[in-house]
Structure 1
Amino acid sequence: MIEWLLLLLPVAAASGWLAGKRSAETVNADSHSQLNSAYFAGLNHLLNEQPDKAIDTLLNALKVDSDTVEPYLALGNLFRRRGEVDRAIRVHQNLIERPYLSSSQRGQALLELGLDYMRAGMLDRAESSFLEVLKRRSHIGITLRQLLDLYQQEKNWHQAIAMAQKLHEESGEATESMIAHFYCELAEQHWAQKKAVETTRFIKQALASDWRCVRATLLQSSLAMEKGDYKRAIRCLRQVERQDPDYLPEILKPLSECYQYLEGQDKFFFWLTEASKRHPGCTSLVLARAAYLQQRGEQKEARYFLIEQLRVYPSVEALQQLLALGVPEDIEAASEPWSLIEEVASRLLKAKLNYVCGFCGFGGKYCYWQCPGCKRWGTVKPLAVGT
């Protein structure tokens, strides 16, 4: 009950003071007396642990206009932050019904009501409130962002694209990368439905929005591989290096498969060698080169290569691959230090995160195109790439 007093009394006092000031200015003693009665009636309801009645009493007694709207907006916001969404909705609905609000204040009340509905999971009502705010050309930036968030929750990608484009037009905010991911979502939906033409169209739109969209290029390569067009898939996968080299680990497996189908593993190794020169210390490239040497039966060369790389660019992954090649001839098979190193490397690798968000630091074992933490698009990247 003390918490309710802390919530309501400051708002009630502020409203009572403003209304009392207005009454004094208009020399309306009856109105002032009525407000005082309502104020103490509200306190009585609070003391009797009847907060809903206290809200009704205070809202009904005071004439809400430009003088008193701010305290009530604050009250509604306090309720929402505390999770009392039903009460927040009542306060904001009461404000909207009052005839004496300015256009800006009515827009603010509608926006707050939309936020209440969002918090309550009532997305249809939230959408209606936000769209009404936009019609009034009020609070455009924040309203567009709320609608953008809403349409993402609903997976309504066409509307999300429209809102992102409008947000860019209104505020100049960069939304190209986000829009590209929305097109990728549409592409994946249509690919699952075996609609190749539509899938290709959405991928092209994604790249038109943001040519650096790695996700769209990976989708392109997957489509090409599905059709057996491995040369095209290789061209797409190699494009990723130019778009964002941080995603190199994502292309190595499919790229190797494509070269295998074309019986061009030597060409793959040549590309690995050249890419390693462009990105020294890239752990994934190191591992792929060592694996290729191992596949050709060049165990000693693979071991020497990994040792040289570990001296310059140490990594747990390369260490584990070195250990997997077996115990060198000059070390006893049962050597306790060697076994201990092998066990420690294995444990470290299991505990290691594979991906991390460059914005909020969220880490995980899998790649998320939208970060589960900060909800940003394209910020979760592989950790396997060195500097």
Structure 2
Amino acid sequence: KSDYFRGLNFLLNEQPDKAIDVFIQMLEVDSDTVETHLALGNLFRRRGEVDRAIRIHQNLIARPSLDQQQRSAALLELCQDYMRAGLFDRAESLLKELLEIGHHRVSALRHLLDIYQQEKEWEEAITIARRLESQSGQDMKPVIAQFHCELAEAALGHGDTAEVENLARKALSIDRRCVRASLILGRISKAAGQYKQAIRALRRVEEQDLEFLPEVLEDLRECHEALGAPQEMVSYLRQVDGRYRGTATLLMLADLLQQHEGEAAAMDYLAEVLRERPSLRGLDRFISLQFGSAEGGVREDLAVLQGLVQRLLETRPRYKCCHCGFEGQSLHWQCPSCKYWNTVKPIHGIEGEQPRRNPQ
């Protein structure tokens, strides 16, 4: 006990290296203090002192007096030290050892899955996710579908459209609600000039998750225009707007009305709809339409008002994670903050979401 208190005294006096030496010496005498050392190493890791955590856990594992359960617990802690230090190859080796032993299977699989995601080793991630689903009972299908989409995006970068289509269809077979797979299929069909096929894939998004409708509207519009059927797009927008009730559909409807029926028709439509569904983006579009007929002081006043509206909008995020609250201007299928999949979605509200614009 005197050694134990001596170690604590070193800690209190901010001499952690000496404290570690004392605790390790105690371990040689009494293996009952293993839990204390595990907790101490965990504490150092949480404080960002990973080298010290590694030293404690490595010394634990080297002790022949540890039983199998204690050694496995130390292996798991050391694995987390290595992951924190970015030493993924060492962590992976320890996790595979734990799986062979048969201890801490679910935790080991979760950590392995984390490593393969960070390393973008999607094939390995798929294999581990399936094992995790089997071991834990957790539904991993939406995540596995995302891994297939990651492989599809990589294949797209190499110009292998056949493999892109194959992987995206696999993703849909695993998770029929995978919005990303439908977007991939729709866009490669559109790029190939298969506009009717693209429309079928893109319209599937509203059935999978209506909140992602803004992501497909511009592509749908371009497909209908390529087919010479803009009125079909207008009909579709009016039909889906009854369920969506957001800003993206009314903005695109206003664009189409302006294009095919003139500014007056677009202004009348926006004026009517904005009374019921006010939004800053809708107001911004309405002001732009007013410029066409405004003169003198009225035009100057509209310019000031629009400048204020646009300043408000330019600082507003377009997407938000419904799990951790992360906000950003770009759509991430895996949240950069909490690392959850399928949780980042377009923001709705008084600012109003807008159709995603394709690069020119």
Whether the TM-score (by the shorter chain) exceeds 0.5 is yes
Q: Is the 8 A contact 2:168 2:184 kept in 1?
A: yes
Structure 1 window deviating more from structure 2 (346-355 vs 213-222): it is 346-355
Size of the alignment, in residue pairs? Answer: 350
Residue 211 of structure 1 corresponds to 176
Residue 243 of structure 2 corresponds to 278
Q: Is the 8 A contact 1:306 1:322 kept in 2?
A: yes
2:121 paired with 1:162 = no
Q: Measured at CA, do residues 383 and 49 of structure 1 come closer, stay the same or move farther in structure 2, by a change above 3 Å?
A: closer
Q: Measured at CA, do residues 80 and 255 of structure 1 come closer, stay the same or move farther in structure 2, by a change above 3 Å?
A: same
Q: Distance in 1 between matches of 2:138 and 2:223?
A: 39
Residue 260 of structure 1 corresponds to 225
Q: Distance in 1 between matches of 2:8 and 2:266?
A: 80
Q: Is the 8 A contact 1:176 1:210 kept in 2?
A: yes
Give the counterpart of 2:118 among 135, 153, 167: 153
Residue 376 of structure 1 corresponds to 340
Amino acid at match of 1:94: N
Give the counterpart of 2:72 among 93, 103, 107: 107
2:318 paired with 1:354 = yes
User: What pairs up with 1:1-387 in 2 under 5 angstroms?
Assistant: 16=1, 36=2, 51-63=16-28, 67-279=32-244, 281-327=245-291, 333-335=296-298, 338-384=302-348
Q: Distance in 1 between matches of 2:210 and 2:11?
A: 62
Q: Distance in 1 between matches of 2:257 and 2:177?
A: 32
Q: Distance in 2 between matches of 1:47 and 1:348?
A: 51
Q: Distance in 2 between matches of 1:161 and 1:206?
A: 11
Describe the SS at the equivalent of 1:356: strand
Q: CA deviation at 1:341?
A: 2.8
Q: Measured at CA, do residues 48 and 304 of structure 1 come closer, stay the same or move farther in structure 2, by a change above 3 Å?
A: closer
Could you list the runs of 5+ residues in structure 1 that have no partner in the other structure? 1-15, 17-35
Aligned Cα root-mean-square deviation (Å):
2.4
Q: Measured at CA, do residues 110 and 298 of structure 1 come closer, stay the same or move farther in structure 2, by a change above 3 Å?
A: same
Could you list the runs of 5+ residues in structure 2 that have no partner in the other structure? 354-360
Q: Measured at CA, do residues 67 and 257 of structure 1 come closer, stay the same or move farther in structure 2, by a change above 3 Å?
A: same
Q: Is the 8 A contact 2:27 2:34 kept in 1?
A: no
Amino acid at match of 1:97: A
Q: Is the 8 A contact 1:221 1:232 kept in 2?
A: yes
Amino acid at match of 1:358: C
Q: Deviations over 1:22-55 (max 9, x none)?
A: xxxxxxxxxxxxxx5x568768977997643442
Describe the SS at the equivalent of 2:28: coil
Q: Is the 8 A contact 1:221 1:237 kept in 2?
A: yes
Describe the SS at the equivalent of 2:32: coil
Q: Measured at CA, do residues 227 and 49 of structure 1 come closer, stay the same or move farther in structure 2, by a change above 3 Å?
A: closer
Q: Distance in 1 between matches of 2:345 and 2:8?
A: 55
Q: Measured at CA, do residues 367 and 135 of structure 1 come closer, stay the same or move farther in structure 2, by a change above 3 Å?
A: same
Q: Deviations over 1:155-188 (max 9, x none)?
A: 0101111111111111111211111111000011
Q: CA deviation at 1:228?
A: 1.3
Q: Measured at CA, do residues 305 and 209 of structure 1 come closer, stay the same or move farther in structure 2, by a change above 3 Å?
A: same
Compare relative contact order (CA 8 Å, sep 6+) and give the higher one, 1 or 2.
2
Q: Is the 8 A contact 2:23 2:37 kept in 1?
A: no
Q: Distance in 2 between matches of 1:310 and 1:184?
A: 38
Q: Measured at CA, do residues 326 and 92 of structure 1 come closer, stay the same or move farther in structure 2, by a change above 3 Å?
A: same
Q: Distance in 2 between matches of 1:64 and 1:247?
A: 62
Residue 31 of structure 1 corresponds to none
Q: Percent identity at matched positions?
A: 47
Q: Is the 8 A contact 1:190 1:199 kept in 2?
A: yes
Q: Distance in 2 between matches of 1:90 and 1:45?
A: 17
Q: Distance in 2 between matches of 1:343 and 1:76?
A: 56
Q: Is the 8 A contact 1:64 1:98 kept in 2?
A: no
Q: Is the 8 A contact 1:64 1:95 kept in 2?
A: no
